[in-house]
Amino acid sequence: MPDLPLALRYREVASSLGISESTVKRRVLRKQLPIVIIGERSIRIPTEAFHKLIGSPVQLIIDDRILSGPEVAIVLGISSAQAARLIRSGTLPTVPWGRKKRVPLGRLRTYIEENTEGAHG
């Protein structure tokens, strides 16, 4: 397994969560995300702090996405309204991000595996 970075760039955090870099910067300014200043000009977000934020294994930070409601609908093959109901009701595992909730793809896979029933007959 490749070494994981100790700190992530804003764009890496934004890409993993499916949000903009400006949203990440706002979270930093509001002190909702810690930062590490490297040298005179580099600002990073500690990988471990990001791991705690999303509540999933560190590997998901690098390999997995955090899905929005419409993306969940596409993955599950359901309507956006149905996906929104599943997210709102807490049926699907979510990560809070501001006023919105996102669904980590890794947790969605686990949810699907745990709730898949064998073929009858």
Neighbouring residues of 36: CB distance < 8 A, sequence distance ≥ 6: 7, 43, 44, 45, 46
Q: pLDDT value at position 37?
A: 76
Question: Can you give the residue range of the structural domain that contains 20?
Answer: 7-63
**pTM over 0.95, yes/no:** no
Alpha-carbon distances, residue 49 vs 14, 32, 54, 98 (angstroms):
14, 10, 9, 16
Structurally, the chain folds into a number of domains equal to 2
Q: How high is the mean pLDDT of the chain?
A: 77
Question: Is 121 contained in some domain?
Answer: no
Domain boundary among 28, 44, 63: 63
Measured distance CA(23)–CA(94) in Å, rounded: 18
Same domain, 47 and 74: no
pLDDT over 70 at 74, yes or no: yes
Alpha-carbon distances, residue 99 vs 10, 102, 105 (angstroms):
20, 10, 19
Same domain, 33 and 55: yes
Same domain, 80 and 55: no
Tokens 């599950």 correspond to 76
